[in-house]
Structure 1
Amino acid sequence: MLKRILQGMVVGIANIIPGVSGGTMLVSMGLYDQLIESITHLFRDWKKSLRFLLPIFIGAGLALVLFAKLFEYLLAAWPIPTNLCFCGLIIGSLPFIAAKVKHNGFDASMAVCFVLFFGIVVGMALLEGKTGSAQASTTPGLVNALLFFAVGVIAAATMVIPGVSGSMMLMLLGYYEPTLHLISSFISSLLHLDWTGLMAACADLVPMGIGIGVGIFGIARLIEWVMAKWPTQTYWAIIGLIVASPVAILMGTDWSGFSLWILIAGIVTFAAGWFVASRLGGE
């Protein structure tokens, strides 16, 4: 139970950081297949599914509450060591996913899947760098609630796909900073028992939460079908997404503070990320 909550916290932290994929972390810890199965069979075998899903969701929720501001600070103050830590976490996942295709050979279809999905992640990183600074409104209202619902669907769908960052998608849509602002407002209002502020934050967070649920269930069923029909090609696509993720992260890193000491710190944090991925991998 405790290990599952810690694994959920890793996924939650990944979903906070633009460029880092919660789906990749699920793959790295050997939980991805079971997550998809638990989601798609939730109503058929709800006891088994909830035993698996609840600790993961509790951990992800705790990470969101406890670490959102911390990682916002770390990325602003120490972007290179922080991002290299994320790269270590992601690259440390490769042995787990490579084992899925180890004895299945390699052909043109697998190569196409790898290259195509590698390109998707790098392309998203390039697109992020070219997007404007337009931000969504957080003023409560029906239209805004519907927009947050739609954004929740899109972001959740990408969160479930390994290698694709849900928070990066929020950035591309202009909803990353507004969402962080809403979460911060919700937590602050809750701590100060500010019911007016709490209701204002919930006016957008609740529709977004519903959208996240819809998006996760929808994409999980699609992924289950694809994996059943083309399992090896799907895993090579996931490997392409995973290999591209560190590239996308490093492309978006602020290198202006680079120095020898920062490089040494980055090597240490990279190794720490790799170690965590290896320890949390599998059951």
Structure 2
Amino acid sequence: MEYIKNFIYGALIGIANAIPGVSGGTMAVILNIYDKIMYAVSLKNLKKHLMFLIPLAIGAVAGIFALSNVIVSLLNSHPMLLNFCFIGLVFGSIPSIYKKARDQKLKPRNLVLGVIALAFMLFISYLNQGEITNKSLADFGGISFGLCLWIFAAVAISTIAMILPGISGSLMMLLMGIYAVVMEAVASIDLVLMIPIGLGVIVGLFVGIKVIKKMLRFHPQALYFIILGLVAGSVFAIYPGFTVSPEGFASLGGLAIFALLAYFLSSRK
């Protein structure tokens, strides 16, 4: 039963990572497994946590390949409803994150870091409001060494963003203009482009996890206030606007339901 639960959690994280504006890290925080993942992914702890990480990883891959197309389709057909549900997930997880941030005596500088993180997300959401050029592989003129190098660098940066709750890895790829190319490569299993994509993911995971684990060990309150700012700020990046209509009222209902669901999941130990 535990394996099935971890597989489902992994699928939810995978789906979140495939959607621009939604963060897989945020989903891990909502599911209350973010700390556990960060702790388990190390040479020292990997072996004894394989039964947790394997179904999680399989679920994440399954979510990206099998279910993300459905979610993206819903995002195109019912963007307000789907995004309001995601906003509800964010709202519901905030009390749990704040509680972790206040486990220790409050240090004003950590609160400032949270405000800076919030401001960063507001800046990202501002960029996302404009038209972002997202070229397909054909628009780039086909595969080239320069394109592969740029894909590697952009995917590495996006992977680091993916690990941080609140920042969407897909949104970062969108902002850097490679989202369409990466989605094309994954959908068609383009082996040539999968090499720089795979290497970018590996480098991003190694760097990102190493930094976050050090923060969890030596500066946990600073990290949680940063996470709080990033997660709260992600609402501005995914807010689709609101219209008074049946779908609008359904969206508000979805927000309330998913906020309660996230609150229940994130408050579980």
TM-score (norm 2): 0.90
Alignment of 1:79-118 (within 5 A): 79-118=79-118
1: CA distance between counterparts of 2:209 and 2:120?
19
2: CA distance between counterparts of 1:207 and 1:52?
28
1:49-94 C-alpha deviation (Å, 9 max, x unpaired): 3222222211111111122221221111111111001111111212
- Measured after TM superposition, the shift of residue 134 of structure 1 is 4.5
- Measured after TM superposition, the shift of residue 141 of structure 1 is 3.8
1:131-177 C-alpha deviation (Å, 9 max, x unpaired): 54242536334333332222221111100011111011000011112
Identity of aligned residues (%): 29
Out of 229, 236, 239, the position equivalent to 1:247 is 236
Q: What residue ranges of structure 2 are gaps of 5+ in the alignment?
A: none
Q: Does 1:277 align with 2:262?
A: yes
The alignment yields a C-alpha RMSD, in angstroms, of 2.0
Distance 1:142 1:91, change over 3 A: same
Q: Greater shift after overlay, 114-123 or 229-238? A: 229-238
Distance 1:273 1:205, change over 3 A: farther
Distance 1:91 1:156, change over 3 A: same
Counterpart residue number, 1:6: 8
- Measured after TM superposition, the shift of residue 11 of structure 1 is 0.9
Counterpart residue number, 1:213: 202
Q: Is the 8 A contact 2:21 2:171 kept in 1?
A: yes
Out of 202, 205, 209, the position equivalent to 2:191 is 202
Q: Greater shift after overlay, 116-125 or 27-36? A: 27-36
2: CA distance between counterparts of 1:48 and 1:221?
19
Distance 1:136 1:49, change over 3 A: farther
Q: What residue ranges of structure 1 are gaps of 5+ in the alignment?
A: 187-200
Counterpart residue number, 1:168: 171
Counterpart residue number, 2:183: 180
Q: Is the 8 A contact 2:132 2:174 kept in 1?
A: no
Q: Is the 8 A contact 2:134 2:179 kept in 1?
A: no
Q: Secondary structure at the match of 1:221?
A: helix
Counterpart residue number, 1:146: 149
Q: Greater shift after overlay, 148-157 or 48-57? A: 48-57
Q: Where does structure 1 differ by over 3 angstroms across 4 or more consecutive aligned residues?
A: 140-143, 278-283
Counterpart residue number, 1:237: 226
